[in-house]
Structure 1
Amino acid sequence: MGLGNVLFGRKRLKKSSGDKIFALASGRVTLEIELGLKSSGKAAVLFKPMSAQEYVRAENEMQELLEVVAQGAASRVSRRGDEFGYEWLIVEDNDFEDLINTVHLVASELASHGFGEQLLAAIFRFDGGQEPLYLIYGYKRGAFWPFIPKGDKERDNAKELELKAKLEKELPIEQDISRWFALFDLPI
């Protein structure tokens, strides 16, 4: 069973609206003022790679996509693979709204180029606490969940639940906490 199956289940779900990601802009006030957390200026789009036969076509389209996104935004976009064979499109922008817009643009372009089923998550990093906070947006379910790594391969469940309570009025939060998957060793 691959990481994608572990993260998002084998069952096919209805397509979610990637537009829900824009709720993060309104959640910024709560994050900054109430919780003392600020965007690190870094986010990423995580997707699973194509099959071997589609790889060459996909590789060319992916490079074109990165060039288009780079021309249309002030954000910096780079690409990185991980040890599990998944691809990360890393977005850097100090303007929070531009960061959200570029992440949405990257995901929309991936979907329009036939990669929609490969989209797994968008991850936004926030600093200001003892540990970084990651708000993870699962494309398959159309909802966010908080992730706070603690130590090497542990997480701070209590703080994550506290964040859920504080953010669920502003963000579509995944209600099934068994689906709050951890993503350790994030490249952002």
Structure 2
Amino acid sequence: MGFLDILLGRTKPVAPDLDQLFALPSAAVTLEVATGFRPTGAGAVCFATVEGAAFEQTHREVQALLDADTDRGGNPVELRQDDYGYSWLVSQRSPDQLAQLVNDLHAVNSSLEANGFGPQLLCSLAAFEDERGRRLALVYLYKRGSFYPFAARGRCRARRGSGQEGEVDAGRRRGQGRGAGRNRRVPGGGRRPASYKKSPGAPTPPAPARPPPARRRDSALELQVKAALASDLRVEQDLSRWFPVWGAPGL
């Protein structure tokens, strides 16, 4: 950094340090003790979508390398694209294979970087889940060399075998049981009376569209995780860099 940069308050960009990913397994132990979140075995690398034969060749090489692992406990590596146009190379391991998952993430980043696609790399993540079915991601920012937690606030998913499936299913079926059709809402407001009968040949009115659910982050949980992992990971201190990863694989 030059003297002029110091005077103007410019900061030197942090060089990518992929070896930071290897701190995840030990951080996962701290995370489970502090919050009860455990690895799900899902992880992914996000990058700006790239077109061209060079990238396709690199993608095939990376996928072949990772799929050749005979100890893989989950699905083969796959390429997905989210609703925002970003690409995710997804690896699925068994929950007790976090170290192997980290090796996958490191290999994907390294291969893309070595083939000239470093500028397109955005982040990598590993997914976690607690007994209440809440999902959490530890996100590694490639261009910052730091981590941050991301947690979406929403309906908890009952874990299979937890004894809560019936309660969740009952909530989903509420209003759909016997006699529910007699009091359905109709466009324009109000309810159909019990004696309502549709005229022969009359078209069925469309059901009113439901507004999309609002997306909210669980900021309290994110800050709790930040404090718990301060000694285990290089946590991103600039909260404006904690970008939401809505719809990311594993979440």
1:97-116 alignment, distance < 5 Å: 97-116=99-118
Q: Which amino acid aligns with 1:61?
A: T
Q: Distance in 1 between matches of 2:12 and 2:118?
A: 13
Q: Distance in 1 between matches of 2:137 and 2:29?
A: 16
Spell out structure 1 runs of 4+ moving beyond 4 A: none
The count of corresponding residues between Structure 1 and Structure 2 is: 175
Instruction: Answer yes or no: is 1:63 the counterpart of 2:65.
Output: no
1:155-170 alignment, distance < 5 Å: 155-170=217-232
1:80-95 alignment, distance < 5 Å: 80-94=80-94, 95=97
TM-score (norm 2): 0.65
1:37-52 alignment, distance < 5 Å: 37-50=37-50, 52=51
TM-score (norm 1): 0.86
Aligned to 1:178: 240
Give the C-alpha shift of residue 81 in structure 1.
Answer: 1.3
Q: Distance in 2 between matches of 1:73 and 1:45?
A: 21
Identity of aligned residues (%): 37
Structure 1 pair 72–61 and aligned structure 2 pair: CA distance change class (3 A): same
Query: 1:5-34 deviations in whole A, cap 9, x for unaligned?
Result: xxxxxx993422111111112112111223
Query: 1:104-124 deviations in whole A, cap 9, x for unaligned?
Result: 111111111111111110011
Q: Distance in 2 between matches of 1:165 and 1:83?
A: 32
State the secondary structure of the residue aligned to 1:87: strand
Q: Distance in 1 between matches of 2:68 and 2:115?
A: 18
Structure 1 pair 123–166 and aligned structure 2 pair: CA distance change class (3 A): same
Give the C-alpha shift of residue 184 in structure 1.
Answer: 0.7
Aligned to 1:139: 142
Q: Any unmatched runs of 5+ in structure 2?
A: 1-10, 155-213
Q: Any unmatched runs of 5+ in structure 1?
A: 1-10
Aligned to 1:27: 27
Q: Distance in 1 between matches of 2:70 and 2:105?
A: 11
Aligned to 1:15: 15
State the secondary structure of the residue aligned to 2:68: helix
Query: 1:32-74 deviations in whole A, cap 9, x for unaligned?
Result: 2232111001000001122x5xx12211221122112222463
Q: Which amino acid aligns with 1:104?
A: H
Kindly indicate which of the two structures has a greater share of residues assigned to helix.
1
Q: Which amino acid aligns with 2:223?
A: L
Q: Give the superposed CA RMSD.
A: 1.8
Instruction: Answer yes or no: is 1:153 the counterpart of 2:153.
Output: no
State the secondary structure of the residue aligned to 1:84: coil
